[in-house]
Chains A and B, each alone.
Chain A
Amino acid sequence: MMLDLGKNSLKNISLRSASLIILVFFSLTGCWDNKDVTEINLITAVGVDKTTDGRVEVTFEIPRPSLTRTGQAGAGGGENSREKAVSLVSSKGDTAFIAVRSMVEKLAKDIFPSKMELLLIGEDLARAGLQEVFDLMERDPESNMTAKVLLVKGAPVKQVMEAESEQEKIPSLHLVKSITVNQDTFGSSKEARVIDILREVALPGKDPLIPVVEILEEKENLKVKNILVSGSAAFRGDKLVGYLTATETRGWLLAENKIKASVYSLPSPNDETKNISFEMYCENGQKKVEFIEGKPKLVIKIKATGDIGESQEPTDLTQPQMLKKLENKIKQIITEEVNSALNSAQKYHSDIFGFGDIIHRKNPQEWQKIKDNWPEIFSKAPTEITVEVKLKRSGYTRKGVEPL
């Protein structure tokens, strides 16, 4: 009977001891995916470019944590500040994947791209097609789908990445923040994330638009303030087809209802030499496609409100007639901007406004008929742009000060 008890307890402990043995065994032998933050290279920005011999060059921006820490007290602060907080490493390969992996040859630690904030794409690569890069981003579970994308115009990607920032320890963060702020308050460039482009590349009726960065003035010690994020690049599918200027980009943002605020200036109706500036807010931007005899017509409707931001002459601008005049002038400017954006898009055969997608969603039967030669139909489609402008406030003053 005692023996029976012993047997029973043996059975009871077998499961526990088995699990214990497995746990201890495995905790000793190794934890495969266990990697400490000090054992990985955090990556904040990735640049992808095409070399002249047709291979892919990948550049990583790797911050050095101890130097990125702000407000660090203690020894050597002054000396450290002269050191660069980030290091750039690049490598080449036949594919981006190979290039990324062969990077390890040059690094002491494993790479960790999950926190990358910025993806810079070279012009040559963009012309050849982005499919490869985005496929890699989508496939790799360690990639960051919310990273911002920038296209580098007229310079090697690496050169832009070498630019130092005076405001941020990590230059790419400076660029990332400036993109967002720009889109919200100025409107000369747009924000594009990897996931947005992934969605758009695959849609037959919509083409991606990627913000552009270019070097303003060539210098020995390039700073971020010497490079400019402005304008955008229009794609057809995954291939670069042309550029939109800053104002055209603003037109696009207005039509997409993505701009929060933007500034305009125009000569005063009273005195042509003086200017008046306005801050405009987009209230509503609508896109529609109307079918006239089976032919699509592209319609954009924009409703904007604004404040008077500054006036170089002391007229009372709040008079109804004056306001009407000003509103009409702004209307013209905005219409012109949107129109030029649309015209450029049509010129490039790149449906960055997503009119095709609108047809696809609202009118699938019609879409089936025209989808195969949509770029041509799009480029030749008639357009209609309606803009409504309303000035609502004038800041603290109604009338500027009159200098005697």
Chain B
Amino acid sequence: MMTNVKISGYQLALLIMGFLFGSTAVLNPTAMAGQDAWLAYILAWVGGFMLIWLYVRIALINPSLTLVEILKVTFGKYLGTVIALLYIWYFLHLAALVLRDFGEHMNVTVFYRTPMTFIISCFALLIAYCLRKGLEVTGRAAEILMPYLFIFVIIIFFLLIPEYDTNNLFPFLEKGLTPVIQVAFGVLTFPFGETVTFLMIFPALYSPGQLKKVSFAAFGVMGFIILGIIVRDLLSLGPDLLTRLVFPPSLSTELTPELQLEPLISVNFLLGGWVKITVCLYAALVGIAQLLGLNDYKHLVLPLVLLAVGLAMWLYEDLFKMMDWTANVYPYYAFPLQFGIPLLILLVAKIRKLA
């Protein structure tokens, strides 16, 4: 069942783009770099290209194997299983984080009184439905829905043009390069490094020859769009407001003349988050199914989605704790999984080839 799932290059590109957009555009992880946010972002973007190159190399060693299978091949049955379990936890955790972000964002912006549990459960139900229909359907639905996301981003970008003030880009590197690099590292792990999830999905690509082209194109296009969003927020809000706000885009869209287009940001978050959570949970599901030797993951969908909802609700007590954790702990927690182990896999493969 799972090995037969095939998606086209365009669909994979859209999934990667939606994944990168995910919660990034709303949380704006570069905000802490103030007026140098764009620089921090570009540094991370370049780093992101290196990471995706690494993942593509790993995927191309054996195009039909998922990450879990690759781990088993590389590190042996027992160690491989342990590391695979780590990854599955990571994917699940990531999905829970995005779900929580989504709930918090909605609670702060429009739905003050609606319980977060309800918003998250509705979203989770949608994702469960999507997961049940499989990756092919997700890919096709992305083909229909992603254009909305692009249109909304472009509309907001152009409506805000009167608010742009290029003075907000200066002074350049006021506090030196170190804080910029720190922020860039954070952005590298969120969202670029998170695409390690796609190692579970690359085998589904219809023609593996396209893999490199497709993933690089997706990184290029979405990287550029996110750059546009970061520059938009920076130019319209200024560095000071940018660093102070929880959800910078929500405020910057309030500046559009006459209209307040904040709901479009929520909708974009919904579209991006939908792709991101679906991909994360799909990866976790396929991983679990492969570890257990099942040939169908459909029975696992509801339990896993429920688990993700539970994690989202109870991992963090409040918004402050979660923001603190994602800013200070997450990069160090995620980086080994995003960079360390993949590098190790590639090295082992090279050594084996030589031997």
Contacts and interface: CB of A to CB of B under 8 A. Distances in A.
**A–B contact at 8 Å CB threshold (below):** yes
A42 to B, nearest CB: 14
B255 A362 contact: no
Interface stretch (B43-51, B105-113, B335-343): B105-113
A364 interface: yes
A19 B125 contact: yes
A360 B240 CA distance: 13
A22 B122 CA distance: 9
B125 A33 contact: no
Contact of A15 (B251, B254, B302): B302
Contacts of A138: 241, 244, 251
A364 B171 contact: yes
Nearest to B256: A146
Contacts, number: 63
B318 interface: no
A276 B306 CA distance: 80
A361 B129 contact: no
B210 interface: no
Given A15-B128, A18-B125, A144 B254 contact: yes
Contact of B257 (A14, A33, A146): A146
Interface stretch (A197-205, A235-243, A290-298, A303-311): A197-205
A198 B163 CA distance: 14
A146 B302 contact: no
Given A22-B125, A33-B112, A360 B132 contact: no
A396 interface: no
Contacts of A14: 302
Contacts of B129: 15, 19
B241 A198 contact: yes
B110 A361 contact: no
Interface in B16-63: none
A114 B118 contact: no
Contact of B113 (A32, A195, A362, A364): A32
B9 interface: no
Contact of B241 (A33, A146, A199): A199
A146 B236 CA distance: 12
B261 to A, nearest CB: 12
A145 interface: yes
Interface residues of B, number: 32
A357 interface: yes
A363 B171 CA distance: 8
Given A202-B240, A202-B241, A364-B174, A141 B302 contact: no
Interface in A342-376: 357, 360-364, 367
B121 interface: yes
B115 interface: yes
Contacts of B244: 138
Contacts of B109: 141
Nearest to B114: A32
19 contacts: A14-B302, A22-B121, A32-B114, A33-B110, A33-B113, A33-B114, A141-B109, A141-B250, A145-B251, A146-B254, A146-B255, A146-B257, A198-B241, A199-B240, A199-B241, A203-B238, A357-B167, A361-B171, A363-B171
Given A32-B114, A363-B171, A364-B171, 5 more contacts: A15-B129, A19-B125, A32-B113, A146-B257, A203-B238
Interface of B: 108-115, 118, 121-122, 125, 128-129, 132, 167, 170-171, 174, 237-238, 240-241, 244, 250-251, 254-255, 257, 260, 262, 302
10 closest pairs, A vs B, by CB?
A361-B170, A32-B113, A364-B171, A32-B114, A202-B240, A33-B111, A19-B125, A199-B238, A145-B254, A361-B171
